[in-house]
Amino acid sequence: MKLYSNEISSAASRVRIALALKGITPELLPVSILGPDAENRQRDYLDLNPQGLVPALLTENGTLITQSLSIIEYLDERFPQPPLLPADAEARAFSRTVALAIAAEIHALVPPRVAAQLGSLGLDATAIGDWNRHWVREGLSAVDALLASRRYGSYVAGDQPSVGDLFLFPQAVNAERAGLPLSLWPNIAAVVGKLRGVSAFVENAPAPRK
């Protein structure tokens, strides 16, 4: 397998964590995602992945899978151990709820292409940073409330890391780097504290921007 990835991408981080938990080592193909000459906006990459996003997984038979949640669930179906979704149906739904709350309600509002568009509309770096922090704060506050009402066990949906944890950890790391302490969200802080003891998460966290 080949994974098109970028070290600062929280979406790519989710997939790298899943691969590490499964003990799978794909060929990593770095794709730059910042700046006007970023590789993900070039024709060669767009021909492969028309969305121009990372991550993208190329399977051994040449099938391309995009979107981090789809990739993770493909890996979980193909390599069942350790499972990345709980056995209980309600716990599985809750784990996906947390994952989608982060992917759709936070991450979708703060990636580089959104920042670039905001810049083209006249917002400076300070205003864009404020935009990002606003939506991260709003989104993680909602996730923290969800965890307060539904979480049981050490992690998002039980006593083993699951899909929700794979999405929560990279977002929490980036929130701290943006100046938002996890103490704002005690339930998230508790889960992330446990995840920081799991090497697959720590070693595959998104890298800071240079």
| Domain termination residue (choose one: 78, 113, 134) | 78
pTM of the full structure:
0.96
Q: How far apart are CA 83 and CA 81, in angstroms?
A: 5
What are the pLDDT digits (tens) for 75-102? 999 999 999 999 999 999 999 999 999 9
Task: Find the CATH number of the domain harbouring 181.
Answer: 1.20.1050.10
Q: How far apart are CA 165 and CA 183, in angstroms?
A: 18
| Domain termination residue (choose one: 27, 54, 78) | 78
Q: How far apart are CA 89 and CA 93, in angstroms?
A: 6
Q: What angle do CA 141, 142, 144 make, to 5 degrees?
A: 65
User: Does residue 143 sit in the same domain as residue 192?
Assistant: yes
| Per-position DSSP letters for 33-61, written without gaps between them | -SSTT-GGGSHHHHHH-TT--S-EEE-TT
User: Does residue 132 sit in the same domain as residue 74?
Assistant: no
Q: Mean pLDDT for the chain?
A: 96
Percent of the chain with pLDDT over 70: 100
User: Does residue 198 sit in the same domain as residue 106?
Assistant: yes
What are the pLDDT digits (tens) for 150-168? 877 899 999 999 999 999 9
Number of domains in the chain: 2
Residue whose tokens read 């709350």: 101
User: Does residue 132 sit in the same domain as residue 168?
Assistant: yes
- Dig out the tokens for 189 from the structure: 């802080």
Name the nearest CA neighbour of 106 among 41, 40, 20, 173.
173
Mean predicted confidence (pLDDT) in 106-121: 95
Mean predicted confidence (pLDDT) in 179-188: 98
- Residue 65 confidence (pLDDT) above 80: yes
| Per-position DSSP letters for 149-197, written without gaps between them | HH--SSBTTBSS--HHHHHHHHHHHHHHHTT--GGG-HHHHHHHHHHTT
